[in-house]
Amino acid sequence: MFKLKSYLSQPYPANRNPILIIAVSSALVFFILAIFQPFGLQNIKNHKLLIIIGYTIVTTICMTIVSFVFPKIFTSLYEPENQTLGKNFLKSIILIALIGLGNFVYDCIIYQRPMYEWLILLYKYMIITFLVGIVPAFVSAMIIFNIHLKRNLKSAENLTKKIMAKKHNDETDKIKADEEIVLQGTTKESLQVFVDDIIYAEAVGNYVKFTYWNNGTVAYKTIRNTLQSLTENLKTHSTIIRVHRAFLVNTTHIKKVNGNSAGYKLSLKGISDEIPVSRSYIKNFNERL
């Protein structure tokens, strides 16, 4: 059970192009219905093509709802930065169930089914829709997962080698790294620190928590501010980069880059927790490292 939970908790890449996925999936549904003719389509003599198009439109509508409406309602399930393999499987099941319900409603409308047939008809559509959709959904999810995982593992390995080989000889960066700065909060609190001592910063609600070196030990300081504002304040320091909507890191303290299907995880000197690099920040991270 623990292994299954750990497996399903693995990061999964967020869908950044839902319109393309909807278009491809709708076309695939059309061809599957036209070729295999489930839902009794093989017995239909008149207007078969129009009915198949109707089922395809049902799929398109359901996928549009799941892709654009549900994320605004079920925010934790659809949060792009926190996607997992398990969440993706759950969303696939929800989508298939919604399509099954949509097919049932569509059937009742076009065939004007009497109410006493509704329950058995709904059961029939749910079973058939799951039989048709569950395997392609799970197989495609695993293919996408493995493609991204292999790519990010390879990229992470190369970045780790780059870190190990990199020599920080640029005098300008050295001067800036040795510079002592004051990071001011929106209230009275502030942090006076050398840039080189900053390990990472994390957004926590309306605050930013800094983890930094202080006389050889790891220290913490929380100030009231936004990560975006502090990112602007630190943009002249090339070693401090944004890697996630909630994290800034100092690249001089990165000891290893680990890959997963959703992006990277950074191991930092003196810190046991890994810092995520989200997919939207990977390009900038690769260029800046």
State how far the Cα of 102 lies from the Cα of 122, in Å rounded to an integer: 10
30: left (phi over 0), alpha (psi -120 to 50) or beta: alpha
CATH pick for 166-288 out of 3.40.50.11720, 2.40.50.1020, 3.10.450.40, 3.30.830.10: 2.40.50.1020
State how far the Cα of 57 lies from the Cα of 26, in Å rounded to an integer: 8
pTM of the model: 0.74
Which of 264, 263, 267, 233 lies closest to 253 in space, CA to CA? Answer: 267
Count of C-beta atoms within a 10 Å radius of residue 242: 23
pLDDT in tens, 133-145: 888 888 888 998 8
Instruction: Tokens 């001067």: give the residue.
Output: 175
Average pLDDT, the chain: 87
Position 178 confidence tier, pLDDT thresholds 50, 70, 90: low
pLDDT, residue 1, reads 62
**Cα dihedral 84→88→91→92 (10° resolution):** -170
SS3 216: coil
Count of C-beta atoms within a 10 Å radius of residue 152: 24
State how far the Cα of 18 lies from the Cα of 67, in Å rounded to an integer: 6
State how far the Cα of 268 lies from the Cα of 275, in Å rounded to an integer: 8
State how far the Cα of 129 lies from the Cα of 105, in Å rounded to an integer: 13
Share of the chain above pLDDT 70, in %: 95
| Tally of CA atoms within 13 A in the half-sphere of 206 that contains its CB | 4
- As beta bridge partners, residue 276 has 265
pLDDT in tens, 237-281: 888 999 999 999 999 899 999 988 888 999 999 888 899 998 888
**β-pairing verdict for 263-268 and 240-244:** unpaired
Higher-scoring residue by pLDDT: 267, 7: 267
User: Angle at Cα 168 formed by Cα 165 and Cα 170, nearest 5°?
Assistant: 135
- As beta bridge partners, residue 182 has 192
240: left (phi over 0), alpha (psi -120 to 50) or beta: beta
* Mean per-residue pLDDT, 230-235: 88
State how far the Cα of 159 lies from the Cα of 258, in Å rounded to an integer: 9
pLDDT higher than threshold 50 for residue 31: yes
pLDDT, residue 199, reads 94
pLDDT, residue 61, reads 96
* Mean per-residue pLDDT, 13-22: 86
pLDDT in tens, 147-173: 988 988 888 888 888 877 765 544 445
SS3 259: strand
Higher-scoring residue by pLDDT: 1, 101: 101
**Cα dihedral 97→102→103→104 (10° resolution):** 90
State how far the Cα of 23 lies from the Cα of 225, in Å rounded to an integer: 42
Instruction: Tokens 């509704």: give the residue.
Output: 118
Position 288 confidence tier, pLDDT thresholds 50, 70, 90: confident
State how far the Cα of 212 lies from the Cα of 199, in Å rounded to an integer: 5
pLDDT, residue 82, reads 82
Higher-scoring residue by pLDDT: 17, 201: 201
Cβ contacts of 180 within 8 Å, gap of 6 or more? 192, 193, 194, 195
- Listed by start position, the domains of the chain span 2-158, 166-288
Burial class (CB in 10 A: 0-12, 13-18, 19+), 88: buried
